[in-house]
């Protein structure tokens, strides 16, 4: 359920209403949908009644949300959500290109990459310090050391840091360093992790699970919002199908459908989505045009020598070209809206 507020509502009145909602054990999510103020009432089903809410004079309407995913849906909020982080806006017309290596291997490499990202207009540095690896015998990441290197690189080049968290116990540590938490595909339904991240204040990049339906994906996002953090960025990174010529199958239908069903920003990760560097550019650009707000790519000084995911990483030159084409594609997409 949510309430639509009258335009005349003052801050004091809104605060009073929110306190009332919270006192009944519900969450109160205040948003601005275009020029309309709304408050989402989250939590227990058998909680507040229409009548109780209507007693507040600033309440114009109370509306039930039909969908199982509620506060991430367009039913709740019609306008696209913009997530601001360190002056960048995710979900609008800015170039959002999160780039970096699969794993941080050492300080020099992350410094070099950060420089290249910045020079080409990328504003986000991604990289793994804690790595989910299929085999216990594979390189598991540098841990806190990796976080430190990344932070240093981001500070030096004024980049926004994105890194993965895999364990509720690591949230506190990682929060000291990162700007955006990433939840990996394998943890999309790690509900303990989602709940804890819902209690933090930083944007969450939520990757779609390998066999998660669009509905489950949005429900996972709903978990984070329901526990208090509405800054969720969705990331399509390919689903698992019978096709073996590519590592995964990027769901372009899903990208377009997410844009239709949800107000949250969407990012496309064609590196994992295709698993082949030659496909990263066409698939990234195609998904941007189909609705994605930004992209994530793996880049590496020397892809052939990467400790992980080398065959899907772009080299610096390929990255430069992708940046240029992506900027053009974002402009072109904007121009189509006027037709």
Give, as ranges, the residues between 205 and 224 that touch a second copy (CB under 8 A): 209-211, 213-216, 219, 222-223
In the bound state with a second copy, the residue whose beta carbon lies nearer, of 203 and 238, is 238
Interface map 241-280 toward a second copy (x if CB under 8 A): xxxxxx-xxxxxxxxxx-xx------------xx-x-xx-
**Minimum distance from residue 113 beta carbon to a second copy (Å):** 22
**Alpha carbon distance 126, 102 (integer Å):** 8
**Minimum distance from residue 96 beta carbon to a second copy (Å):** 17
Interstrand relation of 88-90 and 83-85 (parallel, antiparallel or unpaired): antiparallel
Q: Which of 19, 63, 68, 93 binds a second copy (CB under 8 A)?
A: 68
- Token pair belonging to 338: 């006027």
- Interface with a second copy, residue 283, by CB under 8 A: yes
Cα–Cα distances (Å) from 147 to 88, 126, 307, in that order, read 21, 11, 17
Phi-psi region of 165 (alpha: psi -120 to 50; beta: other; left: phi over 0): beta
Site for a second copy in 126-165 (CB under 8 A): 132-137
Q: Which of 14, 111, 173, 290 binds a second copy (CB under 8 A)?
A: 290
Contact 204, 183 (CB under 8 A): yes
Contact 63, 77 (CB under 8 A): no
In the bound state with a second copy, the residue whose beta carbon lies nearer, of 151 and 277, is 277
Interface map 312-331 toward a second copy (x if CB under 8 A): ---------x--xx--xx--
In the bound state with a second copy, the residue whose beta carbon lies nearer, of 53 and 268, is 268
Q: How many residues bind a second copy (CB under 8 A)?
A: 79
In the bound state with a second copy, the residue whose beta carbon lies nearer, of 154 and 274, is 274
Q: Count other C-beta atoms under 10 Å from residue 302's C-beta.
A: 11
CA dihedral for 40, 45, 48, 49, sign (positive or negative): positive
């Amino acid at each position: 359920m949510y309430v639509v507020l009258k335009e005349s509502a003052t801050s004091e009145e809104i605060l009073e209403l929110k306190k009332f909602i919270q006192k009944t054990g519900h969450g109160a999510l205040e948003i601005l949908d275009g020029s309309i103020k709304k408050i989402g009432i989250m939590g227990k089903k058998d909680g507040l009644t229409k009548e109780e809410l209507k007693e507040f004079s600033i309440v114009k309407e109370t509306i039930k949300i039909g969908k199982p995913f509620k506060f991430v849906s367009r039913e709740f909020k019609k306008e696209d959500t913009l997530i601001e982080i360190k002056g960048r806006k995710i979900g609008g017309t800015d170039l959002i290109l999160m780039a970096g290596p699969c794993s941080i291997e050492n300080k020099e490499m992350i410094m070099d990459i950060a420089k290249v990202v910045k020079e080409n207009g990328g504003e986000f540095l991604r990289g793994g310090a804690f790595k989910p690896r299929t085999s216990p015998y594979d390189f598991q990441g540098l841990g806190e050391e990796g976080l430190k290197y990344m932070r240093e690189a981001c500070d030096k080049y004024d980049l926004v840091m994105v890194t993965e968290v895999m364990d509720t116990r690591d949230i506190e540590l990682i929060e000291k360093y990162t700007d955006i938490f990433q939840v990996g595909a394998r943890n999309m339904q790690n509900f303990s992790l989602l709940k804890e991240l819902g209690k933090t204040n930083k944007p969450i990049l939520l990757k779609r699970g390998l066999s998660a339906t669009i509905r489950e994906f949005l429900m996972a996002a709903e978990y984070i919002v329901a526990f208090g953090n509405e800054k969720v960025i969705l990331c399509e990174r390919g689903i698992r199908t019978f096709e073996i010529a590519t590592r995964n199958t990027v769901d372009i239908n899903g990208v377009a459908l997410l844009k239709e069903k949800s107000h949250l920003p969407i990012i496309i990760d064609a590196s994992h989505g295709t698993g082949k560097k030659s496909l990263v550019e066409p698939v990234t650009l195609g998904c941007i045009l189909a609705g994605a707000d930004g992209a994530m790519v793996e880049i590496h000084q020397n892809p052939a020598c990467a400790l992980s995911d080398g065959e899907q990483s772009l080299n610096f030159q390929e990255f430069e070209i992708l940046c240029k084409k992506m900027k053009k594609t974002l402009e072109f997409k904007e121009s189509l809206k006027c037709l």
